[in-house]
Amino acid sequence: MNKREMVLAMLAVCGEDVEFSPVQVQKGLFLIDEEAEDLLGRKLFDFIPYSFGPFDHTIYLDLENLEREKLVEVRRTDKLRKFVLTPKGFEKGTAALGKLKPEAAEYLKEVAVWVRSMNFHQLVAAIYKIYPGMRKNSIFQDFEK
């Protein structure tokens, strides 16, 4: 599985027309990369400590490419944006999920549900608690430790 397929799989794992915020995508993929390396066989991303914790800029490049290919739709409201798969993207994301070992697909779903259950501040704080090293370059040094 490559990075692009993992992005599609994560966006598909909770079902059709499910929205993910940018922080939910970044932190979800970070957790999968960190916690499921043995299930996936290797790390796919290159996360660094950044302004809001773990960040890999290539994820946004992948999402932009997926949007151009009409596999991902970016929904904007006020200052917020959400990523959601188009029907064709959901089909490809579901196919990518099928490439995973069942236990990897289940973990992916657990992570996706978990990151979607929190708002921005809750999610960033939770990541900092689990991975304090990712706080290093954060602009939110006062988050709960």
Amino acid 39: pLDDT: 86
CA angle in degrees (0–180, nearest 5) for 74-3-61: 45
Question: Which amino acid is located at 39 in the chain?
Answer: L
Query: For residue 62, is pLDDT > 70?
Result: yes
Please state the rounded mean pLDDT for residues 2-9.
Answer: 96
Query: For residue 145, is pLDDT > 60?
Result: no
Query: For residue 32, is pLDDT > 70?
Result: yes
Rg of the chain on CA atoms, in Å: 14
CB 5 within 8 A of CB 99: yes
- pTM as predicted: 0.93
pLDDT in tens, 34-46: 999 888 889 999 9
Please state the rounded mean pLDDT for residues 54-82.
Answer: 95
Amino acid 144: pLDDT: 54
Topology at the third CATH level for domain 3-133 = Arc Repressor Mutant, subunit A (1.10.10)
Strand locations in 4-140 (E): 48-50, 53-55, 72-77, 80-85
Query: For residue 49, is pLDDT > 50?
Result: yes
Domain range annotation of the chain: 3-133
pLDDT-derived band at 96 (thresholds 50, 70, 90) equals: very high
